[in-house]
């Protein structure tokens, strides 16, 4: 399941051949190591607006070294930066957008490998007239910089609602650290559905200490990695998987000192059984991750139900969408999700851009985004709902994709490589953090900024 092309380009001969042929040379991405500082270097902070004055202090609480850097100044003494944060909330007209160039252009040559860039704006829908225009423009800027920054760098836009200025720490911790290695060109909204006060995070390296997380499809692939990362962050994990995967599930959960529940999430009584298990065994749940998913690809013209394979369309909708809907509803109705809890759906970029042979899968994954939209305003007690939309992640599911399609899928993104299950897991751990109660109603793609489609 490894990336053979990337292995080849890392060799001396591979470097020469790919340079000669003008082929992509993916930078090996830095990923977070347990216990390491969030940022290995210094972050330069600049801009004008509601947040700039508090940013250095916020980064300090996260153990991130930051310096205020006025626009137009490049460090003359060989200083390099690991990250750049620009507060653009003060930009109220399109003429002022040039402030982005003034800040970034001199600094872009002074970046370390795998740098992280964050632009902070005001949600355009919250302001009017010229300010709305200027704030909306930030999206094109960040998405383009993401495609040109290179060297494993990532660029994001954080729209911070008025009143949510004190709720940005957990998101900065994620976006500035290697935890977001494969997330780029994304727009994140903080406080868009009411600025819930973030819960206390006593320990940024174990923010989920004392919390309970349930993960469906936890025996392998992305689900297994989600279980591992949530466990690393301090949670007790309850893994769920089908009877055929029971022994793998038990092995993973034993290693993580967790709990397991063997069932098919599409079973009629699955929502009730899950609710009862979490209530009786754990007194409730703080993090619910709907990860279990299947593909049954075929063009729609060939998708008629068959006697041997059953109904491919129906099966995919049942596992990927109807089951998460029913389980979420049951857990909420029974009050099993604790205050400040987090519900996370696993969508897919196929659900955003569409894909040949995947009308069933893309419908199910777009529906997961619909579930986020439908519940984000409705949830009470600081409970949030968000989704990740993975792009090409190297797992058993994608190992089954034909070679040529797989190669194209891996290369056609700004980072020119496939992501790892841990990249999806880290994104989910950010949503799940008690510090992320103002992060609600988001769909973040974990796709290395896919060049095609969405």
Considering only 92, 348, 360, 436, the residue that binds ligand NAD (CB under 6 A) is 348
Task: Report whether 320 contacts 290 (CB < 8 A).
Answer: no
Residues 81, 159, 361, 431: which is the catalytic one?
361
Nearest residue to ligand NAD by CB is 293
- Which of 242, 344 has the CB closer to ligand NAD? 242
- Which of 120, 368 has the CB closer to ligand NAD? 368
395 binding ligand NAD? (CB under 6 A) = yes
Task: Report whether 407 contacts 5 (CB < 8 A).
Answer: yes
| Dihedral Cα 162, 165, 166, 172, nearest 10 deg | 140
Considering only 271, 340, 367, 390, the residue that binds ligand NAD (CB under 6 A) is 390
293 binding ligand NAD? (CB under 6 A) = yes
Q: Is 361 a catalytic residue?
A: yes
> Min. distance of Cβ 300 from ligand NAD in angstroms?
19
393 binding ligand NAD? (CB under 6 A) = yes
246 binding ligand NAD? (CB under 6 A) = no
327 binding ligand NAD? (CB under 6 A) = no
Q: List the one residue out of 315, 384, 393 whose CA is nearest residue 347.
A: 393
> Min. distance of Cβ 414 from ligand NAD in angstroms?
17
Which range of residues in 175-183, 202-210, 215-223, 227-235 is near ligand NAD by CB under 6 A?
A: 215-223
Considering only 6, 42, 171, 291, the residue that binds ligand NAD (CB under 6 A) is 291
Which range of residues in 28-36, 105-113, 172-180, 262-270 is near ligand NAD by CB under 6 A?
A: 262-270
Task: Name the DSSP class of 11.
Answer: S
Q: Give the C-alpha separation, 321 to 370, whole Å.
A: 10
- Which of 395, 436 has the CB closer to ligand NAD? 395
> Min. distance of Cβ 18 from ligand NAD in angstroms?
24
Considering only 217, 367, 434, 448, the residue that binds ligand NAD (CB under 6 A) is 217
HSE at residue 238, side-chain half, CA atoms within 13 A, is: 23
318 CB neighbour count, 10 Å cutoff: 17
264 binding ligand NAD? (CB under 6 A) = yes
Task: Report whether 424 contacts 387 (CB < 8 A).
Answer: no
Task: Report whether 420 contacts 180 (CB < 8 A).
Answer: no
> Min. distance of Cβ 350 from ligand NAD in angstroms?
7
Determine phi and psi for 101, rounding to 5 degrees. Answer: -65, -40
> Min. distance of Cβ 354 from ligand NAD in angstroms?
13
Q: Give the C-alpha separation, 425 to 427, whole Å.
A: 5
Q: List the one residue out of 270, 282, 258, 246 whose CA is nearest residue 319.
A: 270
Which range of residues in 52-60, 170-178, 250-258, 392-400 is near ligand NAD by CB under 6 A?
A: 392-400
Q: Give the C-alpha separation, 193 to 391, whole Å.
A: 26
- Which of 88, 242 has the CB closer to ligand NAD? 242
- Which of 87, 224 has the CB closer to ligand NAD? 224
Considering only 43, 285, 316, 346, the residue that binds ligand NAD (CB under 6 A) is 346
216 binding ligand NAD? (CB under 6 A) = yes
Q: Give the C-alpha separation, 386 to 174, whole Å.
A: 15
Q: List the one residue out of 40, 23, 105, 110 whose CA is nearest residue 75.
A: 110
- Strand, coil or helix: 157: strand
Which range of residues in 69-77, 148-156, 388-396, 432-440 is near ligand NAD by CB under 6 A?
A: 388-396
- Which of 17, 267 has the CB closer to ligand NAD? 267
The beta strand positions in 305-365, using DSSP E, are 337-346
223 binding ligand NAD? (CB under 6 A) = yes
> Min. distance of Cβ 292 from ligand NAD in angstroms?
4
Q: What residues contact residue 136 under an 8 Å CB cut-off, 6+ apart?
A: 124
Task: Name the DSSP class of 243.
Answer: G
Q: Give the C-alpha separation, 422 to 181, whole Å.
A: 10
H or E stretch including 92?
none
Which range of residues in 3-11, 33-41, 144-152, 393-401 is near ligand NAD by CB under 6 A?
A: 393-401
Q: Give the C-alpha separation, 44 to 67, whole Å.
A: 5
- Which of 160, 252 has the CB closer to ligand NAD? 252
Query: What character string, x for contact with ligand NAD (CB under 6 A) and - otherwise, covers 398-437?
Result: x---------------------------------------
Q: Give the C-alpha separation, 62 to 59, whole Å.
A: 5
What are the structure tokens assigned to 52, written together?
């700039």
What are the structure tokens assigned to 355, written together?
């894909």
Residues forming contacts to ligand NAD in the complex (CB under 6 A) are: 216-217, 219-223, 240-242, 245, 264-266, 291-294, 319, 346, 348, 390, 392-393, 395-398
Which residues does the annotation mark as catalytic?
361
């Amino acid at each position: 399941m490894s990336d053979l092309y990337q292995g080849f380009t890392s060799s001396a001969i591979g470097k020469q051949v790919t340079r000669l042929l003008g082929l992509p040379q993916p930078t090996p991405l830095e990923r977070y190591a347990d216990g390491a500082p969030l940022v290995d270097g210094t972050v330069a902070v600049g801009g004008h607006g509601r947040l700039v004055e508090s940013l250095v202090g916020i980064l300090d609480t996260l153990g991130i070294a930051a310096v205020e850097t006025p626009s137009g100044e490049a460090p003359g003494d060989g200083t390099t930066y690991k990250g750049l944060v620009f507060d653009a909330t003060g930009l109220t007209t399109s003429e002022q957008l040039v402030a982005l160039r003034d800040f970034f252009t001199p600094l872009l040559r002074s970046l370390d490998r795998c740098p992280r860039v964050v632009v902070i704006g005001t949600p355009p829908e919250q302001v009017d007239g010229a300010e709305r225009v200027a704030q909306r423009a930030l999206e094109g800027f960040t998405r383009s910089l993401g495609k040109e920054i290179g060297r494993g760098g990532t660029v994001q836009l954080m729209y911070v609602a008025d009143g949510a200025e004190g709720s940005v720490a957990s998101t900065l911790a994620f976006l500035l650290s290697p935890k977001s290695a494969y997330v780029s060109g994304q727009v994140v909204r903080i406080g868009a559905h009411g600025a819930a006060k973030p819960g206390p995070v006593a320990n940024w390296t174990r923010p989920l200490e004392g919390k309970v997380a349930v993960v469906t499809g936890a025996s392998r692939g992305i689900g297994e990695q989600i279980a591992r990362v949530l466990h690393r962050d301090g949670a007790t994990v309850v893994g769920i998987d089908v009877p055929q995967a029971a022994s793998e599930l038990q092995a993973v959960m034993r290693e993580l000192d967790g709990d397991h529940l063997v069932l098919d999430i599409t079973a009629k009584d699955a929502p009730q059984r899950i609710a009862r298990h979490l209530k009786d065994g754990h007194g409730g749940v703080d993090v619910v991750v709907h990860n279990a998913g299947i593909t049954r690809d075929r063009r729609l013209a060939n998708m008629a139900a068959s006697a041997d394979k059953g109904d491919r369309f129906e099966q995919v909708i049942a596992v990927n969408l109807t089951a998460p809907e029913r389980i979420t509803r049951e857990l909420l109705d029974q009050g099993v999700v604790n205050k400040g809890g987090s519900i996370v759906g696993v969508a897919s970029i196929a659900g955003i851009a569409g894909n040949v042979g995947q009308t069933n899968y893309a419908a199910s994954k777009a529906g997961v985004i619909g579930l986020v939209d439908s519940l984000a305003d409705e949830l009470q007690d600081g409970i949030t709902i968000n989704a990740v939309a993975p792009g090409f992640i190297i797992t058993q599911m994608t190992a089954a994709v034909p070679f040529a399609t797989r190669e194209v899928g891996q290369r056609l993104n700004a980072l020119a490589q496939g992501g790892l299950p841990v990249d999806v897991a880290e994104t989910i751990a950010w949503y799940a953090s008690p510090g992320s109660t103002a992060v609600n109603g988001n769909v973040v793609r974990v796709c290395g900024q896919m060049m095609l489609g969405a």
